[in-house]
Amino acid sequence: RFDPLLFDVLAGRGIEHRDGDESRVYGTTNDGTINTSYCSTAVSSSYIMTTGLHFVKFEITGTPFMGVARPMPKEIFSREDFSFFNRDHFDTILAARTDEWVGTVHTCEYSCEDGELSWTGWDIENEQEQFMVEWEGMEGCMTGDTIGMLLDLDEGKVTVYKNNRRLGVLKDGLSGPYCWYANVTTKSAVSIKRGEPPRI
């Protein structure tokens, strides 16, 4: 019923598809640090969301991250140690900004390890960012769990579900175009699939 989603852009160190399945990515390397610049990023760049409701399910192994970010030219993802939260890339990312990038929430993500929220507007000078902050309904998850995300661009918010149970609103203030993405480190994996949001 839904067209399949694919992670058609892979960026950073140690990330791969296996067996030709582009709906799932695997983390293959990590240097042992928790620096997000060493996470590898997978983007569903061909599915750009601008209005309405959009729901996906992420099936996880380990503790990946997932969220939404602005669509941008693919050459940006080829930069060394690319991450949406690596400040070394903020100027390059903002140089690709379009008039459609409304507001300050240009990317936001959910951490499977503890459920925390990170978001940024890629603007350090104006402190338009928060890393690893708590939010109402926050819960972590583990291998075998399914994380649902509902992007509501009519209301400007992202809601998170864990195994079809609504946790709460991860972030509000979203407007303009976004794509789904995931970050993986070593021994983690994530798949993406479109669907209908739970009615709870």
Q: Collect all residues with Cβ–Cβ distance below 8 Å to 198 and sequence separation of at least 6.
A: 148, 161, 164, 165, 166
pTM (two decimals) = 0.93
Residue-by-residue DSSP string for the chain: --PPP---EEESSSEEEETTEEEEEEE----S---GGGSEEEE-TT--B-SSEEEEEEEEESS-EEEEE----GGGGGSTT--TT-GGGHHHHHHT--TT--SS--EEEEETTT--EEEE-S-TTTT-EEEEE--TT-----TT-EEEEEEETTTTEEEEEETTEEEEEEEE---S-BEEEEEE-TT-EEEEEE-PPP--
Could you report the per-residue pLDDT of 134-190, keeping only the tens digit for each? 999 999 999 999 999 999 999 999 999 999 999 999 999 999 999 999 999 888 999
User: Do residues 119 and 135 make contact, with C-beta atoms less than 8 angstroms apart?
Assistant: no
pLDDT tens per residue across all 200 residues of the chain: 667 899 999 998 789 999 999 999 999 865 555 444 467 999 999 999 999 999 999 999 999 999 999 999 999 999 888 889 988 899 999 999 999 999 999 999 999 999 999 999 998 777 778 889 999 999 999 999 999 999 999 999 999 999 999 999 999 999 999 999 999 988 899 999 999 887 75
User: Tokens 């140089």, residue?
Assistant: 95
User: What span, in angstroms and rounded, lies between the C-alpha atoms of 63 and 44?
Assistant: 19
Quote the CA–CA distance of 1 and 17 in Å, as a whole number: 24
Number of other CB atoms surrounding residue 11 within 10 Å? 23
